[in-house]
Amino acid sequence: MSTSTDPLLPTSAASASREQRNSLDIERDVRNYSDFVAGKLGLTTWWTTLTRAGVILGLSLVLGLVVRWVDGHLKNQIPVQVILMVSDGFGPASQTLARNYATHVSQIQTLALDSILVGASRTRSSNSFVTDSAAGATAFSCALKSYNGAIGVAPDQSPCGTVLEAAKLAGYLTGHVSTSRVTHATPASFSSHVIDRGMEDEIAVQQIGNYTLGRMADLILGGGSCHFKPQQDGPSSSCRQDNNDLISAAQSTYGWNYLDNVNDFRNEALSLPLLGLFTADHMAYEIDRDSAKEPSLTEMAMKALQLLSDNAKKQNRGFFVMIEGSRIDMAAHSNDPAAHVREILAYNEAIAAVIDWVDKHPNTVMISVSDHETGGLSVAHQLNGSYPVYEWFPSVLVPVKKSTESLGNMIAAFVEPFNPPVFQQFIHQIITDQLGITDVTADELAFMQTPNRTTSAYTDYMGKMVSDRAGLGWATHGHSAVDVNLYAHGYKSAELRGNHENTDIGAFIERTMGINLKSTTAKLLGGERKVSSEGDGWWSRVQAAYQLFVEKKGHVNANPTADAFVEIHHHEQIIVTK
């Protein structure tokens, strides 16, 4: 064993080195002393040997206990760092799909997540066995079950303190990273409180710091700048329903540093607090991503860890960060296996980088968990009544060049005036060149070459064309109730072994960081009594915004636990049936 005192050695190696070095020094001193005593007393050689052995053994055992106590005491002085990684819509079958694909393409037998599996998470919400991302993320952030559509609120529609807020109030640095809009359900559930997930304009207002607790995040990276830009900027830039310029307010009022391009992200020295919004809407699928325009999930994750860690270290503080592979879910909503598998591989790449980072930083834990499974994926699919073939074919996914979403948008945007022969040829090229399908059937061509279908109709049908040929099955375009895998690595990760409620993840974070969700909730509720210059508390503003949202959407979520309605977030659209 090395006796190096290099501070970059892992803690266990450094401890072993110190223990070995100190043992050798004490052994030398004990040997000299025992020789002196034996000589004075005229003891025989055999007695001297026994004396040496006994004293050395006893002192070595004591030394070992002392060294371990000192190491433990020092380790407890190192601030805790918690990295929560969320693989949205990612079920156990999805990991199998990605592993099989990697084996086919590169002979890789295991993926990064496979090495840190510790258990499973149960996903139901307070009002459904099948959760949505809002309730799922709120279970992680507030450590409580809430209704589908709830963003950082309890079942009674009151705000609940989140682990991000509690960490910030306790002196930690905080942040979140996502490949979706940063106002989307998962990231929003850590940094805002609204009654319905569709209230993304209000979510953005709170994320920059305009609510009772002030700015709670030190870093936000992802897509969705449209909810931060005023309506007057036009529909290509803004999706707000008002003319509030939140980017300007973030910089001038709340002290944010802002960036919106990948070159600045990669090349400039960045400072906290940092708001980085790289796209107007969701960031691109990995299969569609232009690396010259958008950073990868791994790049954003490692930049977040670097910035939070460097700044926390200067102040002897820890940090909390949530990192989401958001678009795993959206590819599964479309039943698009080629986009889905590449999102999972990109997520596993980020996991591998974070595992390596955790190994170099004591008192750091990384948790990886999904909010729910999406698509009801089966890695086998029987297409006819004959005896099923025990096989699926990853080779079908290899030649696919773009997501079905991207291709669906291309088809829907086909230029006028409409020319049937040109359109038919265009469709044929998409099927052969972009999907890699060379055995298209007459029925498939007839469907795809029919103009004026909706984008989702084309998207879903192309997903089925690829899935059928690959031997993959999907039960739904929505979510399922299946338990999802729970992964963990690092500090206290053994506590997460077994099958857990999703709320246990939030409780583990609260316990590990020594933060207090109950007192954070009390501060949120107490803030309602703080009156603004307009005479309204912050939660009154949220409730008013909800009423306006309800009027525009044409439905009232007045009793989220009732069975009077079913709310389905299909392809990120809100559809309500009664």
In eight-state DSSP terms, residue 237 is T
Q: How far is CA 511 from CA 226, 456, 492, 504, in A?
A: 36, 44, 11, 10
Say whether 257 sits in a helix, a strand or coil: strand
In eight-state DSSP terms, residue 112 is G
Six-digit token string for 224 = 């969705």
Q: Which residues contact 574 (CB under 8 A, 6 or more apart)?
A: 198, 553, 567, 568
CA distance 496 to 272: 32
Looking up tokens 């879903």, which residue turns up? 460
CA nearest neighbour of 140 among 104, 195, 180, 191: 191
Checking DSSP bridges between strand 81-87 and strand 364-369, what pairing results, if any? parallel
In eight-state DSSP terms, residue 270 is P
Handedness of CA 503, 505, 510, 514 (dihedral sign): positive
Are residues 430 and 439 in contact, defined by beta-carbon separation less than 8 angstroms? Answer: no
Q: At what angle do helices 538-553 and 200-208 cross, to 10 degrees?
A: 160
Q: At what angle do helices 337-359 and 297-314 cross, to 10 degrees?
A: 30
CA nearest neighbour of 187 among 126, 197, 196: 197
Q: Within 10 A of 354 (CB to CB), how many other CB atoms are there? A: 24
Are residues 127 and 561 in contact, defined by beta-carbon separation less than 8 angstroms? Answer: yes
CA distance 472 to 478: 16
Are residues 124 and 481 in contact, defined by beta-carbon separation less than 8 angstroms? Answer: yes
Are residues 350 and 301 in contact, defined by beta-carbon separation less than 8 angstroms? Answer: yes
Handedness of CA 540, 544, 550, 552 (dihedral sign): negative
CA distance 108 to 103: 4
CA distance 408 to 456: 7
User: Which residues are part of the catalytic machinery?
Assistant: 133
